[in-house]
Amino acid sequence: MNMQTQKSNTYDAIVIGSGITGGWAAKELTEKGLQTIVLEAGQSIVPERDYVEHVPTWDIKFRGMRDRKYEAVNQPIQRHIGDEWNSKFFVNDIENPYTTPPDQPYLFLRGRHVGGRSVMWGRQSYRWSDLDFEANLKDGHGVDWPVRYKDVEPWYDYVEDFIGVTGQAENLPQLPDGKFLPPMEMNCAELVMKDVIAQKFPDRRLTIGRTAILTVPHRGRAACHYCGPCARGCITRSYFSSIHSTLPAAEATGKLTMRPFSVVHSLIFDPKTRKITGVRVIDGQTKEAMEFHAKVVFLCASTLESARILLNSATPEFSTGLANSSGELGHNLMDHIMGGGATGIIPGHEDRQQIGNRPNGIYVPRFRNVKDKHPGFVRGYGFQGGGGRDDWGRGSEMLGFGADFKHTLHQPGPWRFTFAGFGECLPNHENHLEIDKDKVDAWGIPTMKISHKWRENEYALLKDMQVTGAEMLEAAGAKDITLRETPSAPGEGIHEMGSARMGRDPKTSVLNSWNQAHDIKNLFVTDGSFMVSSACQNPSLTYMAMTARACDYAVKQMKSGDL
């Protein structure tokens, strides 16, 4: 990708961040003719060098046991996720600190590199319905979404057609079907559970997960070969990431400049024109300060980082943060509450084995508060999880040799099924982040203090997940049923949302229905910051659809002279 000298740091568009939404912004803006620079805080990723999904245990330094001494010092937060293979994709916590109140732990699990968390994400890709977009208005939590499903539907189509999403159509109003590639197959335990649910729980449906992983060749990318450890990379490009898909599309236009090691400090606001004129950057390696300028800025740094950038961009006019006339910037943080559900052994099928290492599970779409109102809580949850044989994959991680060891690999344990809930988090003004001016990161930029906790409705959802998960297992004749009862920490779901929400009223929201700042018309925010509620589905597909939609709007506004 071409590099520009500091003297020519002027472009049509600046995109901050190169992850799931930054990659989409880069693709859409360059394909529509804009000279675009993508500012990425971290390093480049070279798949041939950095992807390690096929590196065996005996070829890594600590044999899969991790460098625990290093992690205890440098990654005390990030070590909660990943493994020795992919720990390099997660940040150094010493360089990237944040603080929380003593009684409100928050896990900010993040990567800083080209591609961002699209390199390590879970790839589950679900549409929202008007059950989700209308929820705030109907039950009074948060503010009304300024869009409905019909506004986003063509953009869901557009995104799915490009990235490739596999799944099974189910014709459910609460989970619209998409443009699916052939679904992955379910195993025998999952088929048993699917049939039991269909017979005994008519309000529920078990389907294969809808995932951005290819089952057939698609747009020059190969079908998945079921090796399994996707979070370590994918040399066949079988799952969607911005490195595999959107950034190469942007590069193909000849209009993309990618600049890694570009840590954004703040945005430059001109009070006369009431527009952003540029971005202040600290070089990640030299610590040199520089500026980049453009006609339009797309902020795609991730929910918390985008809010941090805007808060650090305060001006005399916007003393509490840029574009914050509403006072809502940094507020209304959300994540999905996990940890509820149940697991149990499914008797029989000892003659059946798993095939490969399928990088996908099952999905039970939300069934609470869909038609009938539940007396104990609002909103709902969905189940992920699935069936598998205990000890099936142990040979890939265990040390051992000889005939006896090999024979044991043909004797895995029983089939087990797990329902793992993902519950909706209600928007709440008190869940927020603010700037911690007394603590700076490795580049001298003030860090953030995050305050987020679960509240009564989230805990009620968690409890109900245990009840319904256990009753479905019991109906299938499962043995040794164990409840999952430990709530995830806020942030642990890695579905951060909110902090710069959309809305109809500039007095109560930061962005309008086009992801455009109410206060500054050439500023667009399209990562999870814009979310007005969290639903219970994985949110990335909605981020991508709304990014493509916002880019289309922004370029049309530029061409008409209104931007």
d(C-alpha 505, C-alpha 64), whole Å = 52
What is the amino acid identity at position 2? Answer: N
Segment 99-114, tens digit of pLDDT? 999 999 999 999 999 9
| Full DSSP string of 333-352 | -B--B--EEEEEEE---TT-
Res. 404: pLDDT tops 80 = no
Q: Which residue did the predictor score with more confidence, 316 or 399?
A: 316
- Two tokens at 514? 């086009």
Position 403 scores a pLDDT of 75
Instruction: For residue range 10-47, list pLDDT tens digits in order.
Output: 999 999 999 999 999 999 999 999 999 999 999 999 99
Location of each CATH 3.50.50.60 domain in the chain: 6-123+250-333+429-437+496-559
* CATH annotation of 6-123+250-333+429-437+496-559: 3.50.50.60
Q: What residues does 345 pair with on adjacent strands?
A: 416, 479
Q: Using an 8 Å Cβ cutoff, are 361 and 122 in contact?
A: no
Residue 296 predicted with pLDDT over 80: yes
73-79 average pLDDT score: 93
124-139 confidence digits (pLDDT tens)? 999 999 999 999 999 9
pLDDT of residue 354: 78
Q: Compute CA distances 124 → 191, 231, 241, 537, whole Å.
A: 20, 13, 12, 9
Which of 77-81, 163-167, 196-200, 419-423 shows the lowest mean pLDDT across its residues? 77-81
Q: How many Cα atoms sit within 13 Å of 314 on the Cβ side?
A: 14
Distances in whole angstroms, Cα of residue 391 to Cα of each of 55, 62, 85, 368, 465: 21, 22, 21, 34, 26
Rounded mean pLDDT, 419-424:
98
Contacts of 545 (CB under 8 A, 6+ apart): 152, 155, 156, 158, 159
Q: Which of 156, 151, 159, 181 is nearest to 169 (CA)?
A: 181
| Rounded Cα gap, residues 401 and 461, in angstroms | 47
Neighbours of 316 (CB within 10 A): 7
Average pLDDT over all residues of the chain: 94
Question: Cα-flanking dihedrals φ and ψ of residue 268, to 5°?
Answer: -100, 120
For CA atoms 354, 355, 359, 362, give the dihedral sign.
Answer: negative
Residue 401 pLDDT more than 80? no
